């Protein structure tokens, strides 16, 4: 169910339309320029590596929003009420992201060494991996992941729209009942997707903690993005009268929790692999602690953990929308560096590469982000900025909901 933005109760600020248009232009121009450069310059490997980087960054943010949406349906809390619409809007982008997965299918030969059977078929270390890592099954599994994610997002959004229209308490119960199994489905599908899309860049390497690191990063990115959006929306009516310090404080505490979870899982993986000292496992870190990549790792320690951890300990910062938004934007941006650290050293050919930044590593993710942001803003403008028949509406807004 959708609404005409001009007749909505609690509509999005008009200025978002300008952001939508500019984001779309940036997305089309940047991706188009990079694609042309890849063809003319005969550099498809670099293009597909940069595309994987940007795609996993923005898809991870979307999936994190879906997970946080289900988490807030299960847990309740006023913090979830004020960010529910951005979470739902991000989840509705999943069909677009499914279409944008097609370039990665075309890029399989350029990204994954396991697709080059002549190079790996006699590798004694990969007998089981090569049975799993086959292009048709890689694509089939991706279809399953997206079907599961899109179905969850569709049902949650459909029932949310039904709640807006009627005020019936039944859709709320449906959303709660779906969210429990939905979190399990999210965890399983993201685990397998992380193995397919990222871990298999180096098929000799494996880690059971790796998917949890990705999941914690996705949910941290989603919470941070919503904190930044909340600051933007709170500059205008109606959110300026709705967002309160206690909502920001709760959101900041959630961000702090996931900063610590990301750091704990990342450190645990490093310690376990380093202590085990197995050649097939420790080589992944050796490539990233040499050739200049150690400086990227150090930047992650400082800006993905130490700085946001120290800042988010402050009660005053968490209750200040502008300062919290600055920390949030840092965390969304640093997710790019984290994924670059995971992906770039494994690029074909000539693995491992020394540290080097290519212009496509900036332009292609920015292009994907432009299209993502345009779609997100469009989705956000289709519904009221607050769930007008949610049971928490009157507690937050201070009066009974207007008729829709």
Q: What is the pLDDT along the chain (404 residues), one digit of tens a residue?
A: 444 445 677 888 888 999 999 999 999 999 999 999 998 887 898 899 999 999 999 999 999 999 999 999 998 878 888 999 999 999 999 999 999 999 999 999 999 988 888 877 777 777 788 888 899 999 999 999 999 999 999 999 999 999 888 877 888 899 999 999 999 999 999 999 999 999 999 888 889 999 999 999 999 999 999 999 999 999 988 888 888 899 999 999 999 999 999 999 999 999 999 888 888 788 888 888 877 888 999 999 999 999 999 999 999 999 999 999 999 999 999 999 999 999 888 754 444 556 777 889 999 999 999 999 999 999 999 998 888 877 777 677 765 555 44
- The string of DSSP codes covering 273-341 is HHHH--HHHHHHHHHHSSTTHHHHHHHHIIIIIIHHHHHHT-HHHHT-HHHHHHHHHHHHHHHHHHHHH
Which structural domain range is residue 48 located in?
31-116+135-393
What was the pLDDT predicted at 349? 43
How far is residue 63 CA from its own chain's centroid? Answer: 5
In-domain check, residue 224: yes
Euclidean distance between CA atoms 263 and 177, whole angstroms:
31
Burial 305-320 (b: 16+ CB within 10 A, else e): bebbeebbeeeebbbb
CA-to-CA distance for 327 and 316, rounded, in angstroms?
A: 13
**Total number of domains in the chain:** 1
Q: What is the pLDDT of residue 43?
A: 81
3-state secondary structure of 45: helix
**Tokens (6 digits) for 351:** 């693995």
Residue 249: predicted pLDDT: 94
Whether 130 maps to a domain, the answer reads no
**Is residue 399 in some structural domain?**
no
| 391 vs 96: CA distance, rounded Å | 31
- The reply to whether 6 falls in a domain is no
Q: Give residue 229's pLDDT.
A: 94
Residue 18 falls within a domain, yes or no?
A: no
User: Is 25 within the bounds of a domain?
Assistant: no
Q: Residue 246: inside a domain, yes or no?
A: yes
Instruction: Find out whether 85 and 383 touch, Cβ atoms under 8 Å.
Output: yes
- For the chain, what's the residue count? 404
Give the span between the Cα atoms of 89 and 12, in whole angstroms. 12
**pTM summary value:** 0.93
The predicted pLDDT at position 195 comes to 94
For residue 124, is it within any domain? no
pLDDT of residue 90: 97
Contact in structure between 76 and 14 (CB atoms under 8 Å) = no
């Amino acid at each position: 169910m959708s609404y005409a933005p001009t007749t909505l109760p609690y509509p999005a600020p008009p200025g978002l339309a300008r952001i939508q248009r500019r984001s779309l232009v940036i997305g089309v121009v940047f991706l188009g320029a990079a694609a042309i450069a890849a063809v003319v310059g005969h550099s498809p490997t670099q293009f597909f590596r940069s595309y994987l980087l940007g795609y996993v960054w923005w898809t991870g943010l979307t999936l994190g929003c879906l997970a946080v949406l289900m988490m807030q349906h299960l847990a309740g809390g006023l913090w979830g009420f004020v960010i529910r619409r951005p979470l739902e809007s991000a989840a509705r982008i999943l069909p677009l992201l499914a279409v944008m997965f097609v370039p990665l299918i075309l890029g399989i030969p350029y990204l994954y060494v396991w697709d080059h059977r002549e190079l790996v078929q006699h590798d004694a270390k990969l007998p089981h991996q090569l049975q799993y890592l086959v292009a048709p099954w890689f694509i089939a599994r991706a279809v399953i992941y997206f079907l599961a994610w899109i179905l969850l997002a569709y049902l949650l959004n459909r029932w949310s729209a039904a709640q807006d229209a009627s005020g019936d308490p039944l859709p709320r119960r449906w959303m709660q009942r779906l969210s429990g199994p939905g979190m399990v489905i999210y965890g399983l599908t993201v685990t397998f997707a992380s193995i397919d899309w990222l871990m298999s860049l180096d098929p000799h390497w494996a880690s059971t903690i790796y998917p949890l690191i990705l999941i914690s990063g996705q949910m941290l990115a989603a919470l941070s993005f919503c904190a930044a959006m909340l600051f933007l929306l709170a500059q205008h009516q109606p959110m300026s009268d709705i967002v309160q310090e206690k909502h920001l404080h709760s959101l900041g505490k959630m961000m702090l929790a996931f900063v610590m979870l990301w750091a704990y899982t990342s450190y645990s993986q490093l310690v376990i692999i380093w202590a085990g000292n197995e050649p097939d496992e420790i080589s992944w870190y050796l490539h990233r602690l040499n050739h200049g990549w150690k400086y990227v790792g150090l930047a992650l320690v400082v800006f993905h953990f130490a700085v946001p951890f120290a800042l988010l300990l402050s009660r005053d910062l968490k209750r200040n929308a502008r300062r919290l938004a600055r920390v949030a934007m840092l965390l969304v941006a640093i997710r790019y560096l984290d994924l670059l650290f995971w992906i770039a050293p494994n690029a074909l050919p000539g693995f491992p590469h020394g540290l080097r930044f290519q212009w496509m590593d900036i332009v292609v993710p920015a292009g994907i982000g432009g299209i993502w942001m345009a779609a997100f803003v469009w989705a956000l403008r289709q519904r009221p900025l607050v769930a007008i028949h949610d049971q928490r509406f009157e507690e937050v807004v201070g009066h009974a909901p207007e008729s829709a």
